[in-house]
């Protein structure tokens, strides 16, 4: 009997050891199905168009995690991939933090110039759970470990699409940390018959893989690499904007890879995404990793029973083919480009192309209006007068020549004088002005060649010029870069309170993979300005230099959808553009989430709503999207505090359109606005509705 009990105890211990515990306590019905057999978790989910996806996960420590990934077509499951393991490489560096550099909002940091480490994240399958979140199914597997970071692997399946996300969700207790990550799917056996990608000329390319191939970094368009075999293909790609930390240049730094022994750290053959740790070799801030924040080092996969090119076309739909989709009643506008076409080409003595590459790139991105920021270094804003006027004249000639009925190229500058910090100026027509004035020079003179010429010598004269010529100004990269501390430092100045000072510009600085949004820095400023009692707006900005077809432009772009039916002719001036901006009749978007309609009790953004005595109102908003949505948030303020009401949109599926009518109590509030964000941290936000 004693021997039998000992034997039984040994068998039970081995059984417990063999079984990886799987927690199903947070699992609810949502269309997915879960089956557990020993160390295998089988999950099926509806992938749309009467198809079903299946994923078989192996929790055996010595076997690949993705036993098989299948897709049902015509009643039969086809194996798209098998025997794959996720791989994550984490680079950990030191963030420079100081109040003068913006603290965690810093851009002027050079992380790779300081010591940093590069390590493969270790994966130990100790336990697992499966839970549902609306139409999503999430499999969590513990544990991940790399230096001071630890966490879980998360695989998220999205109903209605053959799309899933793989994420290493990790955190650290260390302070002043900046990170970067590469990731992919690897195998120690032959998995793919071919590897495919689009080159920067939009032509599909193929490679015949071999387990002996050393890894290669690929310069691609659409940020995607694809593994193809007889059963179909799997496309692997990052979040289109969130994965790309802010840089001055949008260079294509070969953001994908394939091959064996990547970085001599990843075992086997893989395909994946990557970052160049040196960036554009200017300022390279990497990603923030604040203590105890859950950093999502993630990538997306799209599976298909089709060949690679057809699968790539499906991936491209998530970003409208890397363009800004036309929207009835709106025109698209992008701002803040330091291409320096005037100094580097038009006035350099070089041949001036009839169709400059930068114009074609911006047109092909679906942009109707582009505001330049020329002379940001090579120009002569303070004179000599003859040089400055010649530069401006060339700017006006070229922008006039390159505009057409569907594309308006606007002259503009990042003025950076008189007000403090960096800021942009936009006038409704060509204006000749010099950013200096000698004591014996009048503010305004009539030049025989150029007509009216202004000399601006101080803050008051700058405001006078903007008022006289109906121009607009706004702070560039607020609270970071060379605008650290602005506009806060001059929020009580007359020029900032003036209607000529529109507000601020929005760009994804800093980058933080723990946040479900981009550029919280400027969204917070937007609310602060409203609570200061000022009716300001926030416009998006690109703030990049060279613009080429080869560049990874889309990742670094964003757009303003201006509510206007047609473009003004360059020759007639572009006052209608400034009117829309000044009145807040636009929304900002990364491109994947659109807001065709928005009002509160019938009042659109930029207008004033007089509340009834009960202060009850209805938020009416229409959303269009590509990636499944994450949430919609109604943000309001009372002059002191900011209030947030978040509405989960976890039931949405990819490629949708929906009208929402949401009741809200606005008692005591003075303003309200709305944001919407998807599962890849793409989003859109409205301007304010002011309340009385």
pTM, rounded to two decimals:
0.95
Separation of alpha carbons 70 and 582, rounded Å: 52
Do 597 and 330 contact (CB within 8 A), yes or no? no
Q: Which fold has domain 321-430+471-584?
A: TIM Barrel (3.20.20)
Question: DSSP string of 189-224?
Answer: S---SEEEEE-TTS-EEEE---TTPBPEEE--EEEE
The structural domains of the chain, with segments of one domain joined by +, span 85-318, 321-430+471-584, 592-691
10-residue mean pLDDT profile of the chain (692 residues): values are: 41 43 95 96 95 97 97 90 98 93 95 98 96 98 96 98 98 98 96 97 96 96 97 98 97 98 97 98 97 98 97 98 98 97 95 97 98 95 97 98 98 96 97 96 96 97 98 98 97 98 98 97 98 98 97 98 97 98 98 98 98 96 98 98 98 98 98 98 98 96
In the chain, how long is the greatest CA-to-CA distance?
A: 115
User: Other CB atoms closer than 10 Å to residue 292's CB: what's the count?
Assistant: 10
pLDDT score for 570:
98
Q: Do domains 321-430+471-584 and 592-691 have the same CATH topology?
A: no
Q: Report the 3 state secondary structure along 233-268.
A: EEEEECCCCCCCCCCCCCCCCCCEEEEECHHHCCCC
Separation of alpha carbons 110 and 178, rounded Å: 10
Q: Which fold has domain 592-691?
A: Immunoglobulin-like (2.60.40)
User: CA 336: distance to chain centroid?
Assistant: 16
pLDDT score for 75:
80
pLDDT score for 7:
39
Question: Cα–Cα distances in Å, from 649 out to 129, 134, 300, 521, 630?
Answer: 23, 8, 19, 24, 5
593: tokens are: 């989430």
pLDDT score for 100:
87
Please say whether the structural domain 85-318 has been given the CATH code 2.70.98. yes
pLDDT score for 12:
32
pLDDT score for 14:
32
């Amino acid at each position: 009997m004693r021997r039998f009990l000992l034997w039984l105890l040994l068998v039970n211990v081995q059984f417990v050891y063999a079984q990886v515990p799987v927690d199903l306590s947070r699992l609810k019905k949502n269309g997915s199905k879960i089956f557990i057999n020993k160390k295998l978790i089988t999950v099926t989910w509806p992938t749309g168009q009467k198809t079903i996806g299946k994923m078989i996960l192996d929790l055996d420590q010595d076997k690949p995690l993705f036993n098989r990934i299948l897709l049902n077509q015509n009643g039969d499951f086809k194996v798209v991939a098998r025997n794959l393991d996720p791989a994550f490489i984490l680079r950990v560096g030191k963030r420079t933090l100081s109040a003068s550099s913006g603290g965690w909002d810093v851009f002027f940091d050079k992380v790779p110039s300081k010591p940093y480490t590069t390590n493969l994240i270790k994966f130990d399958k100790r336990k697992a759970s499966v839970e549902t979140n609306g139409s999503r199914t999430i499999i969590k597997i513990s544990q991940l470990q790399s230096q001071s970071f630890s966490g879980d692997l998360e695989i998220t399946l999205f109903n209605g699409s053959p799309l899933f996300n793989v994420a290493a969700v990790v955190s650290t207790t260390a302070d002043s940390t900046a990170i970067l990550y590469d990731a992919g799917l690897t195998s120690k056996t032959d998995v793919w018959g071919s590897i495919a990608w689009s080159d920067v000329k939009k032509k599909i390319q193929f490679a015949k893989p071999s387990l002996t191939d050393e890894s290669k970094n690929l310069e691609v368009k659409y940020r995607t690499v694809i593994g193809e075999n007889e059963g179909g293909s799997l496309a692997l790609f990052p979040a289109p904007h969130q994965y790309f930390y802010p840089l001055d240049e949008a260079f294509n730094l070969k953001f994908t890879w394939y091959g064996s022994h990547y970085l001599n750290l990843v075992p086997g053959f893989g395909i994946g995404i990557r970052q160049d740790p040196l960036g554009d070799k200017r300022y390279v801030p990497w990603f923030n990793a604040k203590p105890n924040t859950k950093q999502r080092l993630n990538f997306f996969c799209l599976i298909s029973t089709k060949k690679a090119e057809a699968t790539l076309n499906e991936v491209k739909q998530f970003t409208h083919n890397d363009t800004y989709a036309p929207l009835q009643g709106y025109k698209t506008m992008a701002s803040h480009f330091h291409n320096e076409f005037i100094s580097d080409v038009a006035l350099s003595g070089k041949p001036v192309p009839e169709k400059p590459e930068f114009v074609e790139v911006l047109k092909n991105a679906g942009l109707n209006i582009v505001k330049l920021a020329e002379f940001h270094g090579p120009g002569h804003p303070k004179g000599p007068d003859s040089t400055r006027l010649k530069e401006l004249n060339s700017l006006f000639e070229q922008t006039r020549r390159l505009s057409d009925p569907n594309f308006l190229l606007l002259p503009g500058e990042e003025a950076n004088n008189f007000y403090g910090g960096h800021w942009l100026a936009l006038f409704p027509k060509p204006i000749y002005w010099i950013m200096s004035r000698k004591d014996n020079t009048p503010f305004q003179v009539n030049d025989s060649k150029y007509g009216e010429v202004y000399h601006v010598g101080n803050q008051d004269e700058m405001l006078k010029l903007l008022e006289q010529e109906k121009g607009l100004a706004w702070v560039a990269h607020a609270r970071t870069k060379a605008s650290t501390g602005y506009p806060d430092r001059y929020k009580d100045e007359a020029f900032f309170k003036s209607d000529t000072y529109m507000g601020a510009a929005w760009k994804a600085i800093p980058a933080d993979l723990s946040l479900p949004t981009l550029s919280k820095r400027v969204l917070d400023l937007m609310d602060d300005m409203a609570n200061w009692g000022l009716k300001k707006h926030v416009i998006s900005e690109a703030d990049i230099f060279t613009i080429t077809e080869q560049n990874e432009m889309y990742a670094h772009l964003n757009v303003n959808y201006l509510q206007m039916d047609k473009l003004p002719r360059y020759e007639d001036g572009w006052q209608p553009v400034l009117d829309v901006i000044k009145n807040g009749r636009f929304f900002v978007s990364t491109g994947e989430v659109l807001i065709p309609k928005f009002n509160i009790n019938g009042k659109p953004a930029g207008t004033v709503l007089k509340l009834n005595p009960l202060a009850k109102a209805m938020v009416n908003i229409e959303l269009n999207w590509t990636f499944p949505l994450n949430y919609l948030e109604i943000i309001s303020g009372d002059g002191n505090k900011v209030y947030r009401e978040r509405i989960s949109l976890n039931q949405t599926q990819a490629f949708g359109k929906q009208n929402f009518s949401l009741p809200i109590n606005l008692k005591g509030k003075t303003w309200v606005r709305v944001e919407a964000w998807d599962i890849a941290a793409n989003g859109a936000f409205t301007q304010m509705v002011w309340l009385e």
